[in-house]
């Protein structure tokens, strides 16, 4: 089976849109959008060009188009792309096409004020592919523009899947862990899991400066049921708390999802 079919099979049957709309999923979305807005140029929105490579069902692309930004969306999985296209309204400045983050040759160098890579790194299994994706994202971004890259983090997977859900022995039997508990992923496992030192290695020597490495959901996924059942006031305080600590580097390694914020030199 072509390994590119694994993500397609998964997203054909998974409600990714619903995940980001749930309370616990909204934390990741709110955090990511906070930093997108923080680093977009302060000028007329329609003149700001954003590329989302691996746009999924368009949760971010559509929201940014609704705000008036000019957005180009690229998505590999046809099922997701069709959902994204169904949300586009005539007044939006947005294009959506099928494509792969590993080949953004449809776009010229130095085109975008910001490039978002918020899902593809979850499904790229070799370091060569990850660096190729980063290189393409950097290429199409304007000098001094920003590239935002999301990753799935190792320790949250170990704690939740291996210990809380009691799959440790199964993972060990399948040789899915190193001696120091780093996840070893294959395409059929679907998600590629990393540590901070891996992220540092992927970006080493590339034409970028790191601005922030952010925990986009922090402790949220460890306490999904609690989050879902919080009163509205407590939930708002939890969001405020999370946003106040999401840049703390001593906590980054334990988040489920991280966001690497890079500026092109």
Mind listing the pLDDT tens digit for each residue in 1-56? 344 455 555 555 556 666 667 899 999 999 999 999 999 999 999 999 999 999 99
Q: Kindly state the percentage of the chain with pLDDT values over 90.
A: 89
Mind listing the pLDDT tens digit for each residue in 86-136? 999 999 999 999 999 999 999 999 999 999 999 999 999 999 999 999 999
Structural domains in the chain, sorted by start? 5-153+193-264 (3.40.50.150)
Residue 217 confidence (pLDDT) above 60: yes
Provide the whole-model pTM: 0.92
SS3 sequence of the chain: CCCCHHHHHHHHCCCHHHHHHCHHHHHHHHHHHHHHHHHCCCCCHHHCEEEEECCCCCHHHHHHHHCCCEEEEEECCHHHHHHHHHCCCCCCCEEEEECECCECCCCCCCCEEEEEECCHHHHCCCHHHHHHHHHHHHHHEEEEEEEEEEEEEHHHHHHHHHHHCCCHHHHHHCCCECCCCCECCCHHHCCCEECHHHHHHHHCCCCEEEEEEEECCCCHHHHHHHHHCCCHHHHHHHHHHHHHHCCCCCCHHHCCEEEEEEEEC
């Amino acid at each position: 089976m072509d390994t590119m079919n694994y993500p397609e099979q998964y997203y054909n049957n998974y409600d990714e849109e619903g995940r980001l709309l749930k309370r616990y999923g909204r934390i990741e979305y709110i955090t990511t959008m906070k930093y997108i807005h923080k680093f977009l140029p302060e000028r007329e929105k329609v003149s700001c060009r954003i590329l989302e490579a691996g746009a999924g069902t368009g949760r971010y692309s559509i929201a940014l188009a609704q705000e008036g930004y000019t957005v180009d969306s690229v998505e590999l999985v046809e099922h997701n792309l069709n959902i994204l296209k169904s949300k586009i309204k005539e007044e939006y400045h947005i294009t959506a096409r099928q494509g792969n983050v590993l080949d953004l040759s449809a776009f010229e160098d130095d085109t975008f004020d910001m490039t978002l890579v918020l899902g593809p790194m979850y499904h790229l299994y070799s370091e060569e592919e990850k660096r190729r994706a980063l290189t393409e994202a950097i290429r199409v971004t304007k000098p001094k523009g920003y590239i935002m890259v999301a990753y799935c983090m190792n320790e949250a997977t170990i704690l939740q899947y291996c210990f809380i859900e009691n799959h440790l022995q199964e993972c060990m039997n399948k040789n899915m862990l190193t001696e120091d508990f780093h996840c070893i992923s294959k395409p059929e496992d679907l998600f590629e899991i990393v540590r901070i030192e891996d992220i540092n290695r992927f970006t080493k020597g590339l034409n970028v400066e790191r601005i922030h490495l952010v925990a986009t959901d922090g402790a949220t996924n460890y306490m999904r049921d609690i989050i879902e059942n919080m009163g509205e006031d407590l939930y708002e305080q939890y969001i405020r708390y999370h946003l106040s600590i999401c840049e703390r580097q001593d906590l980054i390694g334990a988040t489920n999802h991280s966001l690497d914020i890079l500026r092109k030199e």
